[in-house]
């Protein structure tokens, strides 16, 4: 009997399908919340496979608590910075993640929505109207900025960066510049994109959108120096991972007018916003900032597809077949 522990219920049919498989004993943490650490350590005991979420820190302590029979960690997320990959490799525990086209499209759409929201001041205008401040048409009211012809700086030209670029390039005739660890000739050919150093990109771009994994090399990828390099009229979009941006320095840059605004779906000290023990709600009070609760991939289609990929990999593993989404 293969024992599988799922750290939290998630949308779609994957868990139900998993539970119906012969030879599987599936246990799920039922409460609609992040599983407490103490409970996680207790519930993983005896598990052959852990189906985790990005909010679960799966490290040596969890692996020890599970036992030597633990052979697989299936991470219900595209990113996997919540898992100690090197420790898993040392123990010969297989690790997979769940990237899918639906998630890619959802995050790309969300980032683009933030871009439009900032450029056209949609949140500000909505709040203004709801507050009954609208007294009639005014040619100078809520002036925003157009997108056509602007320069989009994409940091991380992977699947999501490509998807965003395609929609903005085809639909709005924007200029694409990008920065990545390696040159992407297809990306350059498809969008006439130009490779730039990070500093060059920040100086040139009207909108900077981040699509990198959280690694040591990308922690605080955007901090004081980078924010100072950006145009005062530029917007910063982060739908990747919170610690990629130095949130304290971002707040300073916004307050000082070093950049025009920001769209954030992720936060450095998530779920806290501002990283301040004495939370002053600074980001939440700024009219030129759009905040969403880590929901860029939150579509019905994406959530179900992620679950199906986890299921597919678990079945492949238990049948001694190649893992489609192997990380370790």
Candidates 43, 241, 247, 268; catalytic one: 241
Query: How far is 99 from 319, CA to CA, in rounded Å?
Result: 21
Task: Report how far Cα 286 is from the mean position of its chain's Cα atoms.
Answer: 22
Whether the bond between 271 and the residue before it is cis, its omega within 30 degrees of 0, is: yes
Question: What is Dmax (Cα atoms) for the chain?
Answer: 70
Reduce the DSSP state of residue 307 to 3 states and report it. Answer: helix
Candidates 87, 124, 188, 270; catalytic one: 270
Is residue 241 annotated as a catalytic residue, yes or no?
yes
Candidates 91, 120, 219, 294; catalytic one: 294
CA angle 164, 260, 252 (to 5 degrees): 115
List alpha helices for the chain, DSSP H.
14-19, 37-43, 60-66, 85-90, 101-119, 122-130, 159-172, 185-191, 198-204, 224-229, 247-256, 282-285, 300-318
Taking the CA atoms of residue 86, residue 89, residue 93 and residue 95 in that order, the dihedral angle to the nearest 10 degrees is: 60
Is residue 270 annotated as a catalytic residue, yes or no?
yes
Is residue 220 annotated as a catalytic residue, yes or no?
no
Its sign, for the CA torsion 119, 124, 130, 134, is: negative
Reduce the DSSP state of residue 6 to 3 states and report it. Answer: strand
Catalytic site positions:
241, 270, 294
């Amino acid at each position: 009997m293969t024992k599988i522990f799922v750290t939290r219920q998630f949308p779609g049919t994957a868990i139900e399908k998993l539970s119906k498989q012969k030879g599987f004993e599936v246990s799920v943490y039922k409460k609609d919340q992040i599983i407490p650490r103490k409970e996680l350590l207790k519930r993983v005991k005896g598990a052959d496979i852990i189906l985790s979420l990005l909010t679960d820190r799966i490290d040596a302590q969890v692996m020890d608590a599970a036992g030597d029979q633990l052979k697989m960690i299936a991470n219900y997320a595209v990113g996997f910075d919540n898992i100690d990959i090197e420790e898993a490799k040392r123990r010969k525990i297989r690790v997979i993640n769940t990237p899918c086209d639906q998630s890619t499209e959802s995050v790309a759409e969300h980032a683009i929505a933030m871009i439009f929201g900032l450029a056209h001041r949609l949140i500000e205008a909505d709040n203004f109207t709801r507050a009954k401040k609208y007294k009639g048409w005014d040619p100078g009211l809520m002036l925003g900025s157009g997108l056509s012809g602007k320069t989009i700086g994409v940091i991380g030209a992977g699947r999501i960066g490509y998807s965003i670029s395609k929609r903005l390039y085809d639909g709005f005739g924007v200029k694409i510049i990008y920065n990545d660890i390696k040159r992407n000739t297809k990306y350059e050919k498809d969008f006439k994109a130009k490779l730039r150093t990070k500093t060059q990109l920040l100086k040139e771009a009207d909108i900077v959108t981040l699509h990198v994994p959280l690694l040591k090399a990308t922690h605080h990828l955007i901090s004081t120096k980078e924010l100072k390099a950006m145009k005062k009229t530029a917007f910063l979009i982060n739908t990747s991972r919170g610690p990629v941006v130095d949130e304290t320095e971002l707040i300073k840059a916004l307050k000082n007018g070093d950049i025009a605004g920001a769209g954030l779906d992720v936060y450095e000290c998530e779920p806290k916003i501002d990283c301040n023990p004495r939370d002053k709600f600074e980001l939440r009070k700024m009219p030129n900032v759009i905040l969403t609760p880590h929901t860029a991939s939150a579509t019905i289609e994406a959530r179900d597809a992620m679950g199906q990929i986890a299921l597919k990999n678990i079945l492949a593993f238990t049948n001694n077949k190649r893992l489609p989404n192997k990380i370790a």
